[in-house]
Amino acid sequence: MVTGFRPEFLDFRRGIRVGNLEDNERITRILKLGLEARYGQPFITERYGRGVYWHWIGYVARSNREAKPLSSHISFGCSKFFLAVETGERLFSCGMQVERGFVRASRDAKGWELQSDWDWHRLRNALTPKGALDREIRRLLREGFRVHAGSWDEDSAHYSKSDYPGAAKLRRVMDAAPKDRWAGFQLYYPMTEKEVQASTGPDLVDAMLAVFGEVTVAMNLSMQVALG
């Protein structure tokens, strides 16, 4: 399939354009097909947003989700590839994400409460000093990636290669996220609006798939069923 994706579909005022497009222009379909061809298995597409523009898109390996004894019906418990447009910061990000959910959920939010089979626990257990995940994070930070950890609110932590505190401190930061808020971990590559606009559509698609490839080793370390 010849991609018709264009840089302006990453709109820094409204989000990621997914509606009113042909199949070869829609990034949801383009990346899903690319991931399925690379890993030889189906992926589930998740999103945050509605209508023509979404702010966040995630790709979950179906095999990993279906292996969960308690949470096979939801994607919250799964490590996933993601892309997002942060309209406030005017930043495009792409990489891997693991969610924690609520440690203590209200009666109305029980469906989002952290369960024992979520990948969050695997991620946390893999964060050991000089361990494989720590080495992968350090390698990717040297390549320009960044880390987000903690709640999705203003008190979350962000790290680059210059201030990464190491696996033990990162795990403590994750553990300190308020138990009544949604929290998570992201290892991602950022692009500014200017960088996006200076690229071609095919180059951006190639870059997203390359980023997914780069974070695969780290993501596998947090997954119940690893990707090939």
Phi, psi of 75 (to 5 degrees): -105, -5
Q: Does a structural domain hold residue 43?
A: yes
Rounded Cα distance between 38 and 34, Å, is: 6
Q: Does a structural domain hold residue 20?
A: yes
- Based on the structure, what is the number of domains in the chain? 1
Report pLDDT digits (tens) over 69-115.
Answer: 999 999 999 999 999 999 999 999 999 999 999 998 888 888 899 99
Q: Does a structural domain hold residue 225?
A: no
Report pLDDT digits (tens) over 71-83.
Answer: 999 999 999 999 9
Q: Do 89 and 55 contact (CB within 8 A), yes or no?
A: no
Predicted pLDDT of residue 105? 86
Q: Does a structural domain hold residue 1?
A: no
Rg (CA), the chain: 17
Predicted pLDDT of residue 110? 85
Q: Which domain holds residue 162?
A: 7-220
Q: Domain holding 187: CATH number?
A: 3.30.930
User: What are the structure tokens assigned to 92, written together?
Assistant: 């495009």
Predicted pLDDT of residue 1? 65
Per-state percent for the chain, helix, strand, coil, to nearest 5: 35, 25, 40
Q: Does a structural domain hold residue 40?
A: yes
